[in-house]
Structure 1
Amino acid sequence: MKWLVTGGAGFVGSNLIASILSERPDDRVVVLDNFSASAYDEFASAPPLAQAERLAPDAPVWDANRTLGVIEGDIRDMETVERATAGADIVVHLAANTGVGPSVENPRLDSEMNIGGTLNMLEGARAAGVKRFVFASSGAPAGLTEPPITETIAPRPASPYGASKLAGEAYCCAYAVAFGVPTVALRFSNIYGPRSWRKGSVVATFIRQAMAGEPITVNGDGTQTRDFIHIDDLTRAIRLAATTSGLSGELYQVATGCETSVNQLLALLQEKFEAAGLPAIKRRQGERAAADVQRNFADASKAAQELGWRPQKDLSEGLAETLDWFLHYRRD
């Protein structure tokens, strides 16, 4: 099986590719990434990703003797997209302008990347006749709704990011119906875990700030809630979405269903810091953005029923593992 992973050098992509190469050793993977939010040396720093080869502009993309290739390019460039998708069996589209904050600062860039870039990838997948197109969405399209979020709620995005991801979901459904592209959209909840060296999510940001001896910035009073999912659970869901037969035009929530406040998260992190012999976490209050929803968690029953997927790692265990990775990463 030949996998094309856009944004594959980032947090989710690097973990996904490591799991594919470890569990499906006969498969081949190609990464398409512009490295705007990642670095090649970081991506290829440890097995099995250390076998990555950067592809020259005239190099064949799917060389039978190469397990992991890397194309440096942008999903907004159709020529690059066509080169990368030709010959692929599965496209996992992770590349995006991520996060609510950046989308509020630059909504036009958010649209160009998340709507225009996704349209390019779907066009490339359609021309290539791929077996599955997996689109990375989030809980942001749901926006101003009472949780738990399900696949059937009426979306009310509260940010340009939510709007652009909702448009991506809609294009995936349209391409499945109009062109027969077998798409699956996955709404990721808040992801954390190893390899999140550049991740702007709350867990990674809090750990980086605390390890640097800086106060952790909590925007608002900390009562806002999120659904935190470990990267291993998420990558397993992506692999199932890519390989489960008979899926097309589907949307799934990928979440734990557990509602955790930022204050509760901080208390758990403090326990892990104390257990690791690290200094106590300091805290300061920041301003809560208008586009930041107060409560967010999701019901993943549909994924359990149709993909056979359920989360396996609880937050306490996952935070300890994530902190341990950061400690080793800093030493290395």
Structure 2
Amino acid sequence: MRVLVTGDRGVLGRAVRAAVEADGHVVTGYDLASGDDVRDAAALASAALDQDAIVHLAGLPGDQEDNPDQVMAVNLAGTWNVLLAARATGVRRVVHASSGKALGMLERDPDYLPVDDRHRGLPSKPYALSKWLSEEMCEAFTRDTGITTICLRPVFVADEAAWEKLSEQAELPPARGAAWHLGAVVDVRDVANAFVAALTCPDPTHARLLLCADDVAADRPTVEVLREHLPDVPWRGASLGTDSRTALADSAAARSVLGWSPRHGWWNRGGRRGS
């Protein structure tokens, strides 16, 4: 398969590109660091010629407090241009990098736990809103064109450097100036593997899929974490034992649609040190 990967020179982009190539696909990169801008619709359409799929990772990775308009402009216009390029060139599958923040994580307590892909979205911060609206755009585009769109929603993505910083922590630290993050983390290698799986999985038409490690990012049981942080949020998952370390974000849909499961988590700090 020939795959155009936007944002292939970023931290996640490098991991995804390597995994896609390791799976035997031929990758064409498209990154601002190489002079390629997703806001340039004509250039993007040209890059998409003769491609079988597009993996869309390019975009501003978080809230820019001094320039929220830029986040919306790059992330929304970039996604729109990717979708237009797919339609113009006959690409039949687009895999879009969304975020768990599309569900309002870090903005408010969830309606229920574990959070899953049926949870309402409606975020308000620019980055999260750009991801939610991009997902809506993908779904509308699929209804109109029949082109498959798969929106992957990783929670906090930890690469080797991040795991090293977290190696002696007893719990994933709170996000600065934001609400609690649900103790949700996912290894960058697992995220990369999810993108690979999304390229060849049976056609789901349109899907939105949370990606999270199986265990909560804490050295204590899930019930203790819940008692401290979210005692009033209803639990809808399987019954929790006193020693259970079940994650508070549910990746069941990704397992079903992609045949994906995370291999790394907090208990062994991404597989880089023992518990």
TM range (shorter): 0.7 to 0.9
The alpha-carbon deviation at position 177 of structure 1 amounts to 0.5
3-state SS, counterpart of residue 116 of structure 2: coil
Tell me what 2:74 maps to: 113
Cα distance in structure 2, aligned partners of 1:86 and 1:308: 29
- Give yes or no for contact 1:227–1:257 (8 Å, CA) kept in 2: no
Q: Which residue of 2 aligns with 1:97?
A: 60
Q: Name the structure 2 match of 1:87.
A: 50
Give the corresponding residue for 2:253: 302
Q: Which amino acid aligns with 1:76?
A: R
The residue aligned with 2:237 is none
Please say which structure displays the higher CA radius of gyration. Answer: 1
Deviation, 1:306, is 2.2
User: Are the aligned partners of 2:4 and 2:51 in contact in 1 as well (CA < 8 Å)?
Assistant: yes
Provide, for residues 91-116 of structure 1, a one-character-per-residue CA deviation record: whole Å limited to 9, x for no partner. 000001111x32x3321101111111
Of structures 1 and 2, the one with the larger relative CO (CA 8 A, separation 6+) is: 2
Partner of 1:135: 96
Secondary structure of 2:18 counterpart = helix
Structure 2 gaps of 5+ residues are: 221-246
Q: Secondary structure at the match of 1:236?
A: helix
**Gap change, CA 1:298 and 1:217, over 3 Å in 2:** closer
Aligned residue among 142, 148, 155 for 1:189:
155
Q: Out of 61, 76, 83, which is 1:122 matched to?
A: 83
SS in 1 for 2:51: coil
Distance 1:151 1:224 in 2: 16
Shift of residue 245 of structure 1? Answer: 2.2
The separation in 2 between residues aligned to 1:248 and 1:74, in whole angstroms, is 28
Q: Is 1:312 the counterpart of 2:269 in the alignment?
A: no
TM-score (norm 2): 0.77
For structure 1, list consecutive stretches of 5 or more residues without a partner in the other structure. 36-70, 197-202, 211-215, 265-295, 323-332
- Tell me whether 1:10 sits opposite 2:16 in the alignment: no
Counterpart for residue 20 of structure 1: 20
Q: Give yes or no for contact 1:193–1:318 (8 Å, CA) kept in 2.
A: no
Q: Distance in 1 between matches of 2:136 and 2:178?
A: 35
Is the contact between residue 150 and residue 207 of structure 2 (CA under 8 Å) also seen in structure 1? Answer: yes
- C-alpha spacing 1:228/1:127, structure 2 compared with 1 (3 Å): same
Please, what TM-score do these two structures have when normalized by structure 1? 0.65
Relative distance call for 1:162 and 1:224 in structure 2 (3 A) is: closer
How far apart are the structure 2 equivalents of 1:107 and 1:218?
Answer: 19
Deviation by residue 1:276-307 (Cα, 9 ceiling, x = unmatched):
xxxxxxxxxxxxxxxxxxxx942111111222
Instruction: Give the superposition deviation at 1:80.
Output: 1.3
Count of aligned pairs: 237
- CA shift in 2, pair 1:252/1:80, >3 Å: same
Distance 1:139 1:297, change over 3 A: farther
Shift in alpha-carbon separation, 1:159–1:221, aligned structure 2, 3 A: closer
